[in-house]
Structure 1
Amino acid sequence: MTDHDQLSRRTAVTAAAATAALLPLAAAAPASAASPSPAASPAKGAAAGPPEFLHGVASGDPLPDGVLLWTRVTPDPDAVPGSGRGAATDVVWEVATDRRFAQVVAHGTVRTAATADHTVKADVRGLRPATAYFYRFTAGGRTSPVGRTRTAPAHDAAAGHVRFGVVSCANWESGYFSAYRHLAARADLDAVLHLGDYLYEYKSGEYPEFKEVVRPHSPAHELRTLADYRVRHGVHKADPDAAAMHAAHPVIAMWDDHEFADNAWSGGAVNHQPDTEGSWARRMAAAKQAYFEWMPVRPSTAGTTYRRLRFGTLADLHLLDLRSFRDEQAKPGSGAVDDPGRTITGRAQLDWLKAGLERSDTAWRLVGTSVMISQVAFGSVPAHLLEPLAELLGLPKEGIAVNTDQWDGYTDDRRELLGHLSDRGIGNTVFLTGDIHMAWANDVPVKAATYPATAPVATEFVVTSVTSDNLDDILHVAPGTLSLPAAAAVRAANRHVKWLDMDAHGYGVLDVDAERTQMDYFAVSDKRDPAATSTLVRSYRTRSGTQRVERSDAPVR
């Protein structure tokens, strides 16, 4: 894979129905494998009519000359997600410089069918850099909602700044997606970066562990088949807050484990039992097909999402796939975490990342990593707090200080990557992370044990979950109570950790300019309230050339 795969300056406009290369799987999952989503199903006895757009519109992966457009058409009432039913349908797409479509600058037609779950993707090129556009779809006389998108700055443009919303970990059953609504309301974002766990595979009531279900999953059973994954993607796209975010901004998405199954690796997952649930390869292929059908994402190569996007001379954004190539997680406390034969990235991806970081000529090198790269030890966390922390971080509850699902479980890959930054003098590298339902601001040294004598080579901003449970949820206590001694103990044992918040749910806003990269951390008032408000919690930045985080007194403007 090369940068040309993502940044070619073709002027032709191309369009294709989603994931054509993966379509042979479509026949593998019978329609009866999943029940339709209530949010996406027609009323019983509904008469056939013109095609409808029930799942909104989306865009993603902005380039200087183009963007990927997405929608799903429902050609008749029976053609619900995962059903395998419905006629092939021609869908027209249009891109304009104005919301009324008086100035249409590009258009085309995509034919979609049940083999692609009636999803539509149009990879539009020939647009102007750093420009806002409006887009829509039509089929059978019906018109979709209008979406707004934005192209990236030109390759050599010295943009003043770029600004991203940043989110991760949106468990449907744990609450409402108010974080998405607040991001949709912002007019100052170039894109939204989704760092993984866009959805969860569990059956209803299985997660969170304490069975507080705010709104039930559909299908109610655990996702295993192509139809299952399609249904749940359909539920998420029909959510009004998710639909608003997708319609307002291009979304740059990467996956983590729950798009497949908990703690997924190349050959299996904790939440997959081959003796009762069949082939892992087949399940993972089904999940990937549904993901590429339903998400506004260009697959960089068949079956993976690692890719690179550029935002003028300010930033290269490297997006990692840390599930498709990794070895199985080691047992915590075992010497296997240091085994040089084990990998989280796979050899090809790690070489691609190192080469991209080294040859980058932008002011900043951003790396989307779905799991935390900073080293974490726990020291003397009180026993009554260690167990819920262990649950969040994937640790054994007796207190071994390594989360082997993170880079802590693959120390040779981390040592090679961070050593590469140090040895080659590669500065201004910022890791952007989700996964663990807490917000962190970290320096990233090669050896955390000798920090600060060992200087950091990068920084890391970790955003909390949109809804997925964190410490106060698990303990059923008020935020800012029991989490305070736990956070203090973690910081005492990890001097490179400058701040963490174990309780909040929300999102981040990342602003990048030539002088600094800053993350503003926002919390929603109550994830169980569909009208939740949003409040700024903290702001941290890293100044150019420092490789260190520091608190900022003011959010980005």
Structure 2
Amino acid sequence: MTEPECPENVVPAATDAVEAAAEVGSELGVDRRTFLRMGAGAAATLAVTACADDGVAGDGEDTGTDTGGDDEVGSTDETGTETGSSDDTTDSTETETTETTEESTETEGEETDTTGGEDPCLEGEIIDFDPEALDYEEQLFPLAVMAGEMRPESVMLAVYIDDAQPKTLRVWLPTDTPGQVELVKEMEVTPNADGYLKVTVDGLCPGTWYRYGYFTSDGQSFLGRSLLGEVRTAIAEDSLEPVVVAMSACNGSSFDWPALDRTAEEYYDVFCHLGDMAYNDGAFSTGEYRDRWKQYLSAQGFKDVYGLAGLYATWDDHEITDNSDFDRETNDPNELEKKSNALNAYFEVLPIEGGEGNFQLWRSFRWGLTAEFIVLDCRYERLPSQGEYMTQAQMDWLKQTLLDSPCHFKVILNSVPITNMPFIWDIAASDRWEGFPDSRSELLNFIDDEQIENIWFISGDFHVCFVSRIESMGANLAARTREIAVTGGNTNILGSSLTLSGHFDYGAGQPRGCVLTFDPSTDSVNCRFINPDGGDDYNEDLTQD
């Protein structure tokens, strides 16, 4: 093997060094995603080891791939999740619960793990268990496994189970020993009568990568499994480490999404979806909306990216229907029933707290002192007759959240862009922030008045990818605030023309993968738009100035 050229420093904040070091990892047989998730210390150790006199680590030599006890280098399962090498002869029928597992409180289709006690971060138990040795039962678990609502000590998991019968959920940490894991949680989980399950698992450790899966058994041993997923809890409240985010929107109805395929090769801590995840136009009944979601979440692209990290999501119009076919202020009982069916289906299938009449989507999640993710509802609280882009309650909450946030970056999940778009786009201005000038001015004036720095909007809807400052001119803080938009499937011929306007650094009308690294140590956000055909279309470290 040719000895790789070694970078002098390998740290997440130094993008060029990380990319160079990733090439070192490739030379050593470590795939890109696994290498990138090692973290600065492990990556540096691997690079240094590779640059030793003999060029590579010897047999049995420590290669520096420790990730704090929660990952190892190995093969890839159906979700694209890296796992340790497995021994097919290992007994995978272990059904003992760990000492940290107790009875759970159950409601139909939704459960909450009540373990943890006073200690929010309990150790698991090392057991013989090889989940990959079990067959994936696709007919029983046909959709993506998903995680969401990530907080430092808890996550929500969601799955569809076709036979609507109880299953065993296991959450574990990998170990360095093939065929063994550190079992953290085991629960019997029961979906609702229609097969949908959401369960909150708590007692977890901050900033830790956990793996999870659902298993069938005959009462004595495990027989099969779902896809296997992994999720990272939000980092500790005092942490200032970089946080990596992948994002997508506007996937369209082709079910073939090369941009998502490419994204699944990247490392990310969080996946953000900015709306139009499913195109449900024409659906009316609950059953029809469920069928559409099953189509989308059985697509390989979603199975891949959602199995690799937890999800924060907002909706746009197509989660119900195209905006031109729906009056948000309607009093028509049929339209209200359609809306209720659509929103119930959304909360039913995704790992988002709420549903059954509680459709408040706006919420926020802090990742240490690095970033606060602020999820908005920019669709279904609009009151066009009153010029309100969102209810005053949501606006007041948003402003207070921005004001109170201790985080370096405030990341607003904003389904429809807030940027002042070029004149040719104004034909559709009524469908975005610009069509509600009082609401837009209220927020931007608040940002200026309070001098709240490092607000970053991320958005979708327009079927374009872009990087902008939200105003075409002006030196005030709000004008210099950045927005990054993405499309993961649909296209727009006007996308490439955006750079003709001076406040757009990048514009494309074709789907791209998008990965953002929020790094408080450099006060910058690295933004990469990844061409599905290979390479980066755009890779820049951005600041607000």
Instruction: Tell me what 2:290 maps to.
Output: 230
Residue 12 of structure 1, CA deviation? 10
AA aligned opposite 1:306: W
Deviations 1:409-435 (A, max 9, x none): 111111011111100111111111111
Match of 1:498 among 497, 502, 505: 505
* Distance change >3 Å, CA 50–CA 370, structure 1 → 2: closer
Match of 1:119 among 162, 181, 196: 196
Instruction: Tell me what 1:452 maps to.
Output: 474
AA aligned opposite 1:280: E
Instruction: Tell me what 2:264 maps to.
Output: 184
Please say if residues 17 and 110 of structure 1, whose CA atoms lie closer than 8 Å, have aligned partners that are also in contact.
Answer: no
Instruction: Tell me what 1:310 maps to.
Output: 366
SS at match of 2:417: coil
Superposition pairs of residues 318-397 of structure 1, within 5 angstroms? 318-328=374-384, 341-378=386-423, 396=427
Deviations 1:188-222 (A, max 9, x none): 210111111001123xxxxxxxxxxxxxxxxxxx2
Instruction: Tell me what 1:427 maps to.
Output: 453
Residue 498 of structure 1, CA deviation? 3.1
SS at match of 1:353: helix
Instruction: Tell me what 2:536 maps to.
Output: 536
* Distance change >3 Å, CA 534–CA 361, structure 1 → 2: same
* Distance change >3 Å, CA 179–CA 190, structure 1 → 2: same
Please say if residues 419 and 483 of structure 2, whose CA atoms lie closer than 8 Å, have aligned partners that are also in contact.
Answer: no
Please say if residues 14 and 123 of structure 1, whose CA atoms lie closer than 8 Å, have aligned partners that are also in contact.
Answer: no
Instruction: Tell me what 1:7 maps to.
Output: none
* Distance change >3 Å, CA 498–CA 152, structure 1 → 2: same
Match of 1:193 among 272, 275, 280: 272
Instruction: Tell me what 2:488 maps to.
Output: 466
- Is 2:419 aligned against 1:413? no
Q: How many correspondences in the alignment?
A: 408
Residue 359 of structure 1, CA deviation? 1.0
* Distance change >3 Å, CA 295–CA 342, structure 1 → 2: same
Residue 466 of structure 1, CA deviation? 1.3
* Distance change >3 Å, CA 534–CA 118, structure 1 → 2: farther
Instruction: Tell me what 2:518 maps to.
Output: 512
Gaps of 5+ in 1: 1-10, 21-48, 76-87, 203-221, 331-340, 379-385, 387-392, 397-401, 473-482, 525-532, 549-557
TM-score by length of structure 2 reads: 0.69
Residue 542 of structure 1, CA deviation? 3.1
AA aligned opposite 2:328: G
AA aligned opposite 2:323: N
Please say if residues 506 and 538 of structure 2, whose CA atoms lie closer than 8 Å, have aligned partners that are also in contact.
Answer: no
* Distance change >3 Å, CA 12–CA 91, structure 1 → 2: closer
Indicate the structure whose relative CO is greater, using CA pairs within 8 Å and at least 6 residues apart: 1
Deviations 1:220-264 (A, max 9, x none): xx2121111100111111112211111121121111111011227
Separation in 1, partners of 2:326, 2:107: 28
Superposition pairs of residues 13-162 of structure 1, within 5 angstroms? 18=109, 52-75=140-163, 88-98=164-174, 102-114=181-193, 117-140=194-217, 141-158=223-240, 160-162=241-243
Instruction: Tell me what 1:39 maps to.
Output: none
Residue 456 of structure 1, CA deviation? 4.0
- Is 2:306 aligned against 1:295? no
Match of 1:487 among 494, 498, 504: 498
* Distance change >3 Å, CA 189–CA 417, structure 1 → 2: same
* Distance change >3 Å, CA 196–CA 505, structure 1 → 2: same
Gaps of 5+ in 2: 1-101, 112-136, 218-222
Residue 98 of structure 1, CA deviation? 1.7
Separation in 1, partners of 2:252, 2:107: 30
Instruction: Tell me what 2:253 maps to.
Output: 172
* Distance change >3 Å, CA 58–CA 454, structure 1 → 2: closer
Please say if residues 284 and 338 of structure 2, whose CA atoms lie closer than 8 Å, have aligned partners that are also in contact.
Answer: yes
Separation in 1, partners of 2:393, 2:377: 11
Instruction: Tell me what 2:129 maps to.
Output: none
Please say if residues 464 and 504 of structure 1, whose CA atoms lie closer than 8 Å, have aligned partners that are also in contact.
Answer: no
- Is 2:523 aligned against 1:441? no
Separation in 2, partners of 1:466, 1:56: 17
Please say if residues 431 and 458 of structure 1, whose CA atoms lie closer than 8 Å, have aligned partners that are also in contact.
Answer: no
Instruction: Tell me what 2:57 maps to.
Output: none
TM-score by length of structure 1 reads: 0.68
Separation in 2, partners of 1:508, 1:56: 21
Please say if residues 464 and 491 of structure 2, whose CA atoms lie closer than 8 Å, have aligned partners that are also in contact.
Answer: no
Deviations 1:27-81 (A, max 9, x none): xxxxxxxxxxxxxxxxxxxxxx998212231112211011111111111xxxxxx
SS at match of 2:319: coil
Please say if residues 470 and 479 of structure 2, whose CA atoms lie closer than 8 Å, have aligned partners that are also in contact.
Answer: yes
Residue 108 of structure 1, CA deviation? 1.6
Separation in 2, partners of 1:361, 1:199: 34
Deviations 1:297-316 (A, max 9, x none): 22399112111011111011
Separation in 2, partners of 1:13, 1:424: 45
Separation in 1, partners of 2:324, 2:188: 37
Residue 520 of structure 1, CA deviation? 0.9
Deviations 1:353-401 (A, max 9, x none): 00000111111111111011011232xxxxxxx6xxxxxx5x54xxxxx
Separation in 2, partners of 1:12, 1:64: 22
Deviations 1:111-152 (A, max 9, x none): 2233xx301111111000111111011235432121111111
Residue 487 of structure 1, CA deviation? 3.4
Match of 1:251 among 311, 314, 319: 311
Separation in 2, partners of 1:309, 1:265: 33
AA aligned opposite 2:232: R
Please say if residues 499 and 506 of structure 2, whose CA atoms lie closer than 8 Å, have aligned partners that are also in contact.
Answer: no
Separation in 2, partners of 1:273, 1:316: 36
* Distance change >3 Å, CA 50–CA 518, structure 1 → 2: closer
Instruction: Tell me what 1:478 maps to.
Output: none
Separation in 2, partners of 1:50, 1:231: 17
Residue 17 of structure 1, CA deviation? 5.0
Separation in 2, partners of 1:73, 1:157: 37
Separation in 2, partners of 1:430, 1:101: 42
Q: CA RMSD in A?
A: 2.8
Separation in 2, partners of 1:251, 1:505: 20
